[in-house]
């Protein structure tokens, strides 16, 4: 029987991989291929942290395939032309892949679904990334959802299939393998000086995802609802990059939570599990939105925010201070520095950091989204867009713009002892808890004893909270009056 090409993209796993499973059921040789083609599949070129993860995830996938007597063929260039080249060499008459839902990727898939069958090649695509297809869930008016609670009610009412499991043994291989680039030829590591730091935090690949999921189910799930907002504690799953690259799928997560109930018949088994699955629901909602509203990575869903009077930032000084973690507000700066060191930021802190950029500095949410895109290991177009539009008040089910986080109060509430701040801002390590979130208010002798020099080794606030809040609310009123 002729070979089947498995086109890997953001589904870098073997278990619960519908495209791979279907190819094995079809019979005949299976040729796994990855094509580096960001020009056609991405809204923007992936950032350095994301490319670092991709490099190591591909390496892990190739190792897993080789354990099955197979291998990953690596190519670089136009995905259609590369697929045609491998089809010609192998005599393959089918190409299977798992779908993506971002605008550029959707357009590319549509083109391939037309071009390949015209050459006599069978094409099939599958859902490996979501619990529910974005096109399958619509509100009572037959339109896309824009309110999360209504979306999630309909989503959880749908059956969740059990994860697909591979039979043991080798995969059928072609008589001769097509040529392949070396992984290093993709040049994914050229801009990643913090690779060693990232490697101490993360284990890209399916095995790493499985270990992290099991550890969280065992140690963090039950009280997730109580601890998830505390950035100083190891209380979240940190599975987001594994989910983005498809090293674990949402059906596997759903099944793991069900299994944790140990036959009790109660699902979700506890409040922590319910809260965590709801976070999975927000990821689903994000993909639902970007699929139905493909303009939102660049334009606000609420069109009136296109008239918002953003502040001037001559020379980009305010933006640069935010990007470098030098705003003078420790909870904000700690988040940015965590991002710079490990390519990830705690979700509660993401909201605080984003709110500060949009509402204290009044800089466009798109500038923050671009920075996150370039620096996050879990940079995901759908999640990034939803998060920033939610914070800016211009998206679906968004927080009202007049909800402005007070960074000092947020720090005191969610990091009361200052553990998170001290971890990521070593200049403030010796500052007492009562002053760690507002060092500019500390007495001089306390600062001196802690080795803190304001405007020396740590800055004063670049804006005053009350003044910035008033300016943001005035700008919001101006936007509403300009209708």
- Rounded CA-CA distance 398/405 in Å is 14
Which residue numbers are catalytic? 279, 282, 310, 347, 365, 388
Q: Both tokens of residue 283?
A: 């990821």
Which tens digit of pLDDT belongs to each residue from 16-57? 999 999 999 999 999 999 999 999 999 889 999 999 999 999
Tokens representing residue 469 in the block: 């809040």
Pair 121, 135 in one domain = no
Say whether both 308 and 287 belong to one domain: no
Is residue 62 in a domain? yes
Domain-located, residue 195: no
Nearest to 97 by CA among 37, 49, 181: 37
Q: What is the mean pLDDT of residues 317-331?
A: 98
Do 363 and 446 lie in one domain? The reply is yes
The DSSP symbol for 119 reads: G
Whether residue 275 is contained in a domain is answered as: yes
Residue 466: per-residue pLDDT = 97
Beta strands 73-76 and 4-8, pairing class: unpaired
Q: Any residues with CB less than 8 A from the CB of 413 and at least 6 apart, and which?
A: none
Residues 270 and 318 in one domain: no
Dump pLDDT digits (tens) for 299-318: 999 999 999 999 999 999 99
Across 169-173, 193-197, 366-370, least confident range: 193-197
Residue 159: phi and psi, rounded to 5, are: -70, 145
Residues 6+ apart with CB under 8 A from 205: 12, 56, 57, 59, 60, 61, 64, 247
Binned at pLDDT 50, 70 and 90, residue 404 comes out as very high
Q: How far apart are alpha carbons 213 and 53 in whole angstroms?
A: 18
Compute the distance between CA of residue 367 and CA of residue 370 in angstroms, rounded to an integer.
5
Count of the separate structural domains present in the chain: 3
**Is there a single domain that holds both residue 60 and residue 157?**
no
Could you give the CA distance from residue 415 to residue 421 in angstroms, rounded to a whole number?
Answer: 8
Establish if 172 belongs to a structural domain: no
For residue 249, the domain's CATH number is 1.25.40.80
| Domain-located, residue 176 | no
Question: Quick one: 272 and 386 in the same domain?
Answer: no
Q: Which of 227, 347, 217 has the alpha carbon at shortest distance from 282?
A: 347
Question: Domain ends where: 128, 152, 183?
Answer: 128
Quote the percentage of the chain above a pLDDT of 70.
99
What would the pLDDT profile of 113-145 be if each residue is shown by its tens digit? 999 999 899 999 999 999 999 999 999 999 999
Average pLDDT, whole number, for the chain? 95
- 16 and 28 co-located in one domain: yes
Percent of the chain with pLDDT over 90: 93
Question: Are 380 and 244 a contacting pair, CB within 8 Å?
Answer: yes
Establish if 191 belongs to a structural domain.
no
The answer to whether position 199 is within a domain reads no
Instruction: Say if CB 12 and CB 246 are below 8 A apart.
Output: yes
Domain end residue (candidates: 79, 112, 128): 128
330-342 helix and 407-414 helix, angle to the nearest 10 degrees: 70
pLDDT at res. 261: 81
Same domain assignment for residues 285 and 339: no
Residue 168: the pLDDT is 93
CA atoms of 286 and 398, how far apart (whole Å):
12
Residues 209 and 236 occupy one common structural domain = yes
Residues 327 and 280 in one domain: no
The pTM score is 0.96
Per-residue pLDDT tens digits for 262-296:
767 788 888 999 999 999 999 999 999 999 999 99
Task: Name, in order, each residue with C-beta under 8 angstroms of 217's C-beta and a sequence gap of 6 or more.
Answer: 256, 257, 260
Helices (H) and strands (E) in the chain, counts: 21, 5
Last residue within a domain, chosen from 257, 292, 327: 292
445: Cα within 13 Å, side-chain hemisphere: 0
Q: What are phi and psi of 36, to 5 degrees?
A: -85, 105
Q: How far apart are the first and last CA of the chain?
A: 64
Which whole-number Å values give the CA distances from 253 to 42, 61, 247, 248, 354, in the listed order?
26, 20, 11, 8, 28
Find the mean pLDDT for residues 450-461: 97
**Band of residue 192 on the pLDDT scale cut at 50, 70, 90:** low
Average pLDDT over residues 89-106: 96
Same domain, 124 and 48: yes
* Distance between CA atoms of residues 7 and 48, nearest Å: 23
In this prediction, residues 367-391 reach a mean pLDDT of: 97
Domain hosting residue 64, numbered range: 4-128
For residue 25, give the CATH number of its domain: 3.40.50.620
Summarised one tens digit per residue, pLDDT across range 151-186 is 999 999 999 999 999 999 999 999 999 999 999 999
Band of pLDDT at residue 433, cut at 50, 70 and 90:
very high
Q: In sequence order, which residues have a C-beta less than 8 Å from that of residue 126 and are 6 or more positions away?
A: 18, 19, 22, 96, 97, 98, 99
The answer to whether residue 308 is domain-embedded is: yes
Judge if 408 and 363 occupy the same domain.
yes
DSSP code for 312: P
CA distances from 172 to 30, 304, 309, 437 (A): 6, 56, 60, 59
């Amino acid at each position: 029987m002729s070979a089947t090409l498995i086109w890997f993209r953001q589904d870098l796993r073997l278990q619960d991989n519908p495209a791979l499973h279907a190819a094995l059921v079809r019979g005949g040789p299976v040729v796994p291929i990855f094509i580096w083609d960001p020009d056609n599949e991405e809204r923007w070129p992936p950032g350095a942290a994301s490319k670092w993860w991709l490099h190591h995830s591909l390496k892990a996938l190739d190792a897993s395939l080789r354990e099955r007597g197979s291998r990953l063929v690596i190519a670089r260039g136009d995905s259609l032309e590369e697929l045609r080249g491998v089809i010609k060499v192998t005599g393959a008459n089918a190409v299977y892949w798992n779908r993506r839902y971002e605008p550029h990727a959707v357009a590319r898939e549509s083109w391939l679904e037309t071009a390949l069958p015209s050459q006599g090649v069978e094409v099939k695509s599958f859902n490996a990334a979501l619990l529910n297809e974005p096109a399958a869930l619509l509100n009572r008016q037959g339109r896309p959802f824009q309110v999360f609670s209504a979306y999630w009610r309909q989503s959880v009412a749908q059956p969740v299939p059990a994860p697909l499991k591979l039979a043991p043994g080798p995969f059928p291989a072609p008589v001769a393998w097509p040529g392949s680039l070396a992984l290093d030829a993709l040049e994914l590591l050229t801009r990643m000086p913090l690779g060693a730091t990232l490697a101490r935090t993360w284990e890209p690949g399916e095995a790493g995802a499985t270990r992290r999921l099991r550890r969280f189910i065992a140690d963090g799930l039950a009280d997730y609802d109580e601890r998830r907002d505390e950035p100083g504690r190891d209380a979240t799953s940190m599975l987001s990059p594994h989910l983005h690259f498809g090293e674990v799928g949402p059906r596997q997560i759903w099944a793991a939570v069900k299994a944790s109930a140990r036959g009790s018949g109660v699902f979700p088994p506890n409040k922590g599990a319910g809260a965590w699955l709801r976070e999975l629901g927000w990821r689903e909602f994000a993909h639902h939105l970007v699929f139905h509203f493909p303009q939102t990575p660049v334009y606000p869903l609420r069109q009136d925010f296109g008239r918002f009077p953003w502040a001037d930032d001559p020379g980009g000084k305010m933006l640069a201070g935010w990007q470098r973690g030098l705003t003078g507000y420790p909870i904000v700066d700690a988040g940015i520095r965590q991002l710079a060191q490990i390519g990830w930021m705690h979700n509660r802190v993401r909201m605080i950091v984003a709110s500060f950029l949009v509402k204290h500095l009044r800089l466009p949410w798109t500038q923050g989204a671009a920075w996150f895109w370039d620096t996050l290991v879990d940079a995901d177009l759908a999640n990034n867009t939803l998060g920033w539009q939610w914070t800016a008040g211009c998206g679906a089910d968004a927080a009202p713009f007049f909800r402005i986080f007070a960074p000092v109060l947020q720090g005191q509430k969610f990091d009361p002892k200052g553990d998170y701040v001290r971890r990521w801002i070593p200049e403030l390590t010796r500052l007492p808890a009562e002053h760690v979130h507002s060092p500019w208010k500390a007495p001089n002798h306390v600062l001196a004893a802690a080795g803190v020099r304001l405007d020396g080794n740590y800055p004063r606030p670049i804006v005053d909270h009350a003044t910035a809040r008033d300016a943001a609310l005035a700008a919001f009123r101006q936007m509403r009056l300009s209708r």
